[in-house]
Structure 1
Amino acid sequence: MCFCFFALATCVVIFARHNQLEMLQKELKSQQHPTMKLVAIGIGEEDINTIKLLNPDLQRRQRQKRMSLWLMPFGFFAGITFTFIANLDTFAFAGSFGEHLIGGLLGLGSGLMGSFAAAASVSSESEDSIRIVRNRLEEGSWLLLIETAMGIEIPWAILQKARPQALVRLSDS
């Protein structure tokens, strides 16, 4: 599931009962905000593991892929450059061209490993909030993820009127 807004105001509303979630969802849809996305999460609804915003593993994998796009070519050229500069004959059996190519391939592999290490070392700023939301879902609660486009305020008064267990703000626009 992908929401293609530039900057989002995002919150998760947590309910103890499914009918509370449905009532709020109907009320928010009746307002006809074309820039508001609503995603119900829980048993019989959307799976939390498919939503990138609420799944740290998906976020980490996406970071790793993006980082590998520039780390791998950088590593390849760094490996070739190192074999020229160091003038070592480590892979002399491959000839002069093969030696530089093997050095480049080893650099490429280093770039790939670096992308995994770098992606794993970065944590998101809303990781604690996501952990709270995921724990509530495991306890049997129902979640409503609300995202609005930049400049559109989340309707806090309507959310408070619905009497949720909790409101977790993930980001502001």
Structure 2
Amino acid sequence: MPVCVVVLSDQAAAEGLTQQLRDTDVPLLMCQAIPPEGNAIDSVALLSPNLTRQRRQKAMARWLMPFGFLAGVTFTKITNLTTFAAFGPWGETLIGGLMGMGSGLMGSYAAAASVDSDNEAGVRILRNRRDEGSWLVLVETPNGIEAPWQVVQRSRPQQVVRLNDL
């Protein structure tokens, strides 16, 4: 999905551009004005590194936790360690699997925090512009369809940041 963010100096320009974009014949998946104050930018997944990291962590946990469980069960059976022998042979195996599952969960947090997204530089620029008092207009179009650039240019933007195709 092609995504661009238009940086504008004031609220009237941002709301005017948003309305003009919605009035065009170009299909838009998202057209949203983001004010410079408040936490509205943190609720937009494309512009919030924290939301992106949380989504990545949950996706990784779906894979790492089941494999961690299987690895824990396998390790318990292969090594013949009797760390949890008081729980019996099935209880010991189950606890080993649960510990492996916990390791998979911890691994998903560590891995998700260590990977930067492709749009990190662009998002940092946009967050800085917003902190300086500029309004942001997020424009997202379906694959293969360009944003209405003529309408965007008529609004005299301070900057247009095109995020990588997602």
* TM bracket (short chain): over 0.9
> Residues 89-143 of structure 1, C-alpha deviation per residue, up to 9 Å, x if partnerless?
1212221111111111110110110110111111101101001101111111100
Q: In the superposition, relative to structure 1, how do residues 84 and 36 fare at CA in structure 2: closer, same or farther (>3 Å)?
A: closer
Match of 1:159 in 2: 152
Kindly, what percent of the aligned residue pairs are identical? 52
Q: Deviations over 1:55-89 (max 9, x none)?
A: 01001011111111111111111101111111111
Q: Which range is displaced more, 11-20 or 92-101? A: 92-101
- 2:3 maps to 10
Matches of residues 70-109 of structure 1 in structure 2 within 5 Å?
A: 70-109=63-102
Q: Please, what is the CA RMSD of the aligned residues?
A: 1.7
**What secondary structure sits across from 2:99 in the alignment?**
helix
Listed as ranges, the gaps of 5+ residues in structure 2 are none
Contact 2:22-2:28 at 8 Å conserved across structures:
no
Instruction: Return the alpha-carbon distance in structure 2 between the equivalents of residues 153 and 45 of structure 1.
Output: 30
Large movers: runs of 4+ above 3 Å: 43-46
Alignment partners' CA distance in 1, 2:22 and 2:64 = 44
Match of 2:121 in 1: 128
The aligned counterpart of 2:14 is 21
Unaligned runs of 5+ in 1: 1-7
Residue 42 of structure 1 corresponds to 35
How many residues matched? Answer: 166
Equivalent residue number for residue 5 of structure 1 = none
Distance 1:36 1:78, change over 3 A: closer
Q: Which amino acid aligns with 1:28?
A: L
SS of aligned partner of 1:154: coil
Question: What SS does structure 1 have at the residue aligned with 2:145?
Answer: coil
Rounded Cα–Cα distance in structure 2 between residues aligned with 1:47 and 1:149 = 23
Deviation at 1:18, TM superposition (A): 1.2
What SS is found at the alignment partner of 1:163? coil
Task: Please state how far the C-alpha of 1:20 moved relative to its aligned partner.
Answer: 1.2
Equivalent position amino acid for 1:96 in 2 = P
Instruction: Tell me the distance in 2 between the aligned counterparts of 1:12 and 1:151.
Output: 18
Distance 1:46 1:28, change over 3 A: farther
Query: Would you say 1:112 and 2:102 are equivalent positions?
Result: no
Q: CA deviation at 1:36?
A: 4.4
Q: CA deviation at 1:43?
A: 5.0
